[in-house]
Each structure stands twice: as C-alpha cells, then as structure tokens.
Amino acid sequence: MSPDYPRILEESLTDSPGDVTTLEVIALFHHLSGEDEKGIEAANKALAYDNTSFGALKVLSEIYVEQDNHEMTIQFVRRDIEHFKNDEIPLPLKMFSNLIKRLSIVSSKFQKVAERTKQNLEANKEWLTWAHSYVSWYEEMVNQRK
C-alpha cells in the first residue's frame, strides 16, 4: 500500500502553514489525481501566502484550461507571465538547480536529482512558452467575438 502523500504533506503544514512549496506540491498532486477542487483549494492557499507563486498559478491555469474555463485560465496565465517576465524561472528554482548540479559532480547520488531538476526547469520554460501562446489565442478569440 502506498503512503497517503497528500495527508502526510498536509500534516507537515501544521508546523508551518505558510509553506508555499508544500502547498504547491499538494495542489499539483490533487490535480494530477483528478481531485481538482482540492487542487484549487491548495493552490489558493499558496497564493494567499505568496501571490506570485509560480507553481500555484500554473496549477490553477492547467485546471481551468482543462475545464474549458478560459475566463479563469487567462487570469492565472497572465499573472504568471506578469511575475516572470522574459520567461525567467523563479530564482529559488534556479538556485536549487545550481546547487543540485554542483552536488551531482561531488556525489553520484545527486545525478538523478540533477537530471530531474533540469527537466523540471525545462518543463517550466515550455509552460511559459505555452502561456504566451495561450494569451495570444485568447485575445484573438475575444477579438473575433466583437
């Protein structure tokens, strides 16, 4: 039987309820598990502590676009783009990536982590590219309705 990861993560919030990274992970986990309402709730909690939370805004964008709720999607996509202009990935993610990269040179234990971290950064860059395309598509769709 696999551990109840959301419950374990949520219990960890008892000592630090404003842990935005944990809230982002909970939101993503719920979304990927098909529990979008719980994902929305966790992402909104993260945004209450950090209104520029890349992960929370991304999860909310993904949930609403999958629900074809473009009016909600565009709000979160635009906020993410606004906070991460020039497709800059948040500094803490870059710093973590650089640290893991250095550790992977010293210890082979970190090589897989370094590769996964690199993949995550690339995925975030791809998502930002998608976000810009989405905004263009949405604005074109709105202009066609006029």
**For 89, which DSSP code?**
P
Domain chopping of the chain, boundaries: 1-83, 86-146
pLDDT in tens, 57-100: 999 999 999 999 999 999 999 998 888 765 555 555 555 555 55
CATH class for the region spanning 1-83: mainly alpha
Taking only the tens place, the pLDDT of each residue in 16-49 is 888 888 899 899 989 999 999 999 999 999 999 9
- For the stretch 46-51, contacts whose Cβ atoms lie closer than 8 Å and that sit 24 or more positions apart, written own/partner, are 46/20, 49/18, 49/20, 49/23, 50/20, 51/79
Say whether pTM exceeds 0.85. no
Residue 100 has which token pair? 């893991």
Residues whose CB is less than 8 angstroms from the CB of residue 57 and which lie 6 or more positions away in sequence, other chains included: 43, 47, 76, 77, 79, 80, 83
Number of residues that make up the chain: 146
Q: Token pair of 119, please?
A: 């993949």
